Amino acid sequence: MHAVCSVRAVENALQIQIPDNARLIRNIIEAAQYVQDHVIHFYHLHALDWVDIVSALEADPADTADLAQSISDWPKSSADYFAGVQNRLKAFVETGQLGLFANAYWGHPAYALPPAANLMAVAHYLEALDWQKEIIKIHALLGGKNPHLQTYLVGGMAVPLDPDSQSAINAHRIAQLKRWAAQAHDFVAQVYIPDLLAVASFYKEWAGLGGGVGNYLAYGDYPQDTSGNPSSLWLPRGVIFDKQIGNPPQALDHREIREYVTHSWYSYAEGDGTAKHPWEGETRPNYTGPKPPYEFLNTDEKYSWLKAPRYQDTPMEVGPLARMLVAYASGHERVRELVHQVLDHLDVGPEALFSTLGRVAARGIETLVVAEQLSVWIDELAANISRGDLAIHNGERWHPSTWPAEAEGWGSTEAPRGALGHWVRIKGGKIVNYQAVVPSTWNGSPRDAREQRGPYEAALIDTPVADPERPVEILRTIHSFDPCMACAVHIVNRHGREITRVKVA
């Protein structure tokens, strides 16, 4: 995601328009990323906050089969199949080496699923692990490898197209892409979405918890043409204040973004109460926290390595929920249809969207919408090739000698976990300033100069914790944001002291 964002920043600075095929290849890569990443998030990074693996050992596989067959046509749903999964799990537990699953909160009263549903979820946890490494081969085909694709270029993509060459994207490669796209869609439609709805129906109280700041920002993504115009974005751009989804979102102006370091371990030349647009941004570390090892951080002072980005001085939530709300408010038809279906299924009103459960549901809705669109873009790429359009790169400004003496630009994308922006200033053929504002700094930001809390902190307020020693409720809300591992998360108790650093995933 950083790769596409960085080349877009430079393309914006140098006013480069990419060929249509490069646009489509980028869309296909990103769509595959969404589908894989969201499914991994649901099953492997978040599900175990809701699913009790130990309870799955007690399930009657016949009950699990009945449940699975009642919600989906997915073929792997026989009692024998689930018995096999359960036996494998039993054999694992009987070794006494619980590995990744040791020391979790199994048996916690907040776990609400019946054993049959827990077994179904465990089976799909394992299936999803095998599935994800297959469908992400879309990236290997178009990017050389996954992770860390290598074919992004300023001006296009380094993926040749040629129906008459075995060293380029040809009909055979298109067929492979189509096969993986179908595999991606089927799992989402037949496993992920039914599981999501089944699990959510047991946790409807979470539709009233974990809301947070109530402001949502999306840069939008998946351009439908090469104009660079925000109106071309298939997932729209916009800003929603105060949960107002009844009207179209406000147009986004990136110049309204400012970052504070008041409570961050950085300093600004003009003082730490000031805020800076990323083109003027500074990254000068200024650690003032306790000498490690330490137990607590003093949150009255600086307490985070994250800066605090704000839009019009207001904290913003980014991510699938923000994107789906902006799409909904913008009149995106398929998104509106699915949002209504999910709300009807769970028998909750639209206010349920602004919650921990709303975040989980929005991620699922988005995955399905994108999985449906994946094959459309592959077809469009094939259609271009059959018309003889093989262009993948605009090389007019490839050589630095063609650049202006000075240029500045910004690039945006919607990473699976939220809005990602890169800002670049170029002088004399060199970068003189480069700033990235990443999704987890929006969501995980510390307080700003006006002491406004960021989305994680705001979302935890009023969350009931049944057992402070085993705060699974905290994990449910924090994980619902899909925090970046590389970013700091601090949980502060009512005395204002950090009680733990949550391992986030």
Residues 460 to 479 in contact with another protein, rule: CB under 8 A: 470-471, 475
Looking at this protein, which amino acid is placed at residue 136?
I
Q: Is 199 in the site for another protein (CB under 8 A)?
A: no
* Contact residue for another protein among 107, 273, 331, 400 (CB under 8 A): 400
Smallest distance, Å, CB 347 to another protein?
Answer: 31
Smallest distance, Å, CB 466 to another protein?
Answer: 16
Stretch that binds another protein, among 60-68, 70-78, 122-130, 198-206 (CB under 8 A): 122-130
175, 182 Cβ separation under 8 angstroms: no
190, 74 Cβ separation under 8 angstroms: yes
* Residue 99: Cβ within 10 Å count: 7
Contacts to another protein from residues 374-393, by CB under 8 A: 390-393
Name the strands in the sheet holding 430-437, side by side, starting at the edge strand that comes first in the sequence. Answer: 406-415, 418-427, 430-437
* Contact residue for another protein among 76, 137, 179, 450 (CB under 8 A): 137
Nearer to another protein, 357 or 484 (CB): 484
Q: Is 430 in the site for another protein (CB under 8 A)?
A: yes
Contacts to another protein from residues 227-246, by CB under 8 A: none
Q: Which residue has the tokens 């999501």?
A: 196
* Contact residue for another protein among 58, 66, 80, 162 (CB under 8 A): 162
Nearer to another protein, 36 or 367 (CB): 36
Contacts to another protein from residues 432-461, by CB under 8 A: none
Smallest distance, Å, CB 332 to another protein?
Answer: 30
* Contact residue for another protein among 73, 129, 172, 386 (CB under 8 A): 129
Q: Which residue has the tokens 């589908």?
A: 35
| 245 to 284: interface string for another protein, x by CB under 8 A | ----------------------------------------
Contacts to another protein from residues 48-67, by CB under 8 A: 48, 53
Q: How far is CA 107 from the centre of its chain?
A: 29
Stretch that binds another protein, among 67-75, 195-203, 238-246, 495-503 (CB under 8 A): 495-503
* Contact residue for another protein among 271, 273, 331, 429 (CB under 8 A): 429
Q: What token pair was written down for 438?
A: 């990443």
Residues 6+ apart with CB under 8 A from 469: none
238, 248 Cβ separation under 8 angstroms: yes
Smallest distance, Å, CB 47 to another protein?
Answer: 10
Nearer to another protein, 151 or 443 (CB): 151
Q: How far is CA 316 from the centre of its chain?
A: 15
| E strand map for 140-204 | 152-153, 156-157
420, 439 Cβ separation under 8 angstroms: yes
Q: Is 45 in the site for another protein (CB under 8 A)?
A: yes
Name the 3-class secondary structure at 218: strand
Burial class from Cβ neighbours inside 10 Å (0-12, 13-18, 19+) for residue 374 reads buried
Q: How far is CA 433 from the centre of its chain?
A: 27
DSSP state of 475: H
Determine the angle formed by the axes of helices 193-200 and 356-386, rounding to 10 degrees: 170
Smallest distance, Å, CB 400 to another protein?
Answer: 6
Smallest distance, Å, CB 341 to another protein?
Answer: 31
Spatial CA neighbour of 387 closest among 11, 16, 20: 20
Contacts to another protein from residues 281-310, by CB under 8 A: 285, 287, 289, 291-295, 305
Q: How far apart are CA 40 and CA 331, in angstroms?
A: 29
Q: What token pair was written down for 24?
A: 């489509």
* Contact residue for another protein among 102, 251, 269, 405 (CB under 8 A): 102
* Contact residue for another protein among 101, 202, 279, 434 (CB under 8 A): 101
Q: Which residue has the tokens 């978040």?
A: 46
Q: Is 44 in the site for another protein (CB under 8 A)?
A: yes
- Phi/psi at 437 (nearest 5 deg)? -115, 110
Smallest distance, Å, CB 408 to another protein?
Answer: 18
450, 405 Cβ separation under 8 angstroms: no
Q: How far apart are CA 186 and CA 190, in angstroms?
A: 6
Nearer to another protein, 338 or 475 (CB): 475
| 138 to 157: interface string for another protein, x by CB under 8 A | -xxxxxxxxxx-xx-x-xx-
Q: How far apart are CA 483 and CA 505, in angstroms?
A: 6
224, 308 Cβ separation under 8 angstroms: no
Smallest distance, Å, CB 395 to another protein?
Answer: 6
* Contact residue for another protein among 71, 79, 104, 407 (CB under 8 A): 104
304, 272 Cβ separation under 8 angstroms: no
Contacts to another protein from residues 163-182, by CB under 8 A: 165-168
Stretch that binds another protein, among 73-81, 162-170, 334-342, 360-368 (CB under 8 A): 162-170
Q: Is 331 in the site for another protein (CB under 8 A)?
A: no
| Residue 342 CB-half CA count within 13 A | 32
Nearer to another protein, 335 or 488 (CB): 488
Contacts to another protein from residues 73-92, by CB under 8 A: 84, 87-88, 91-92
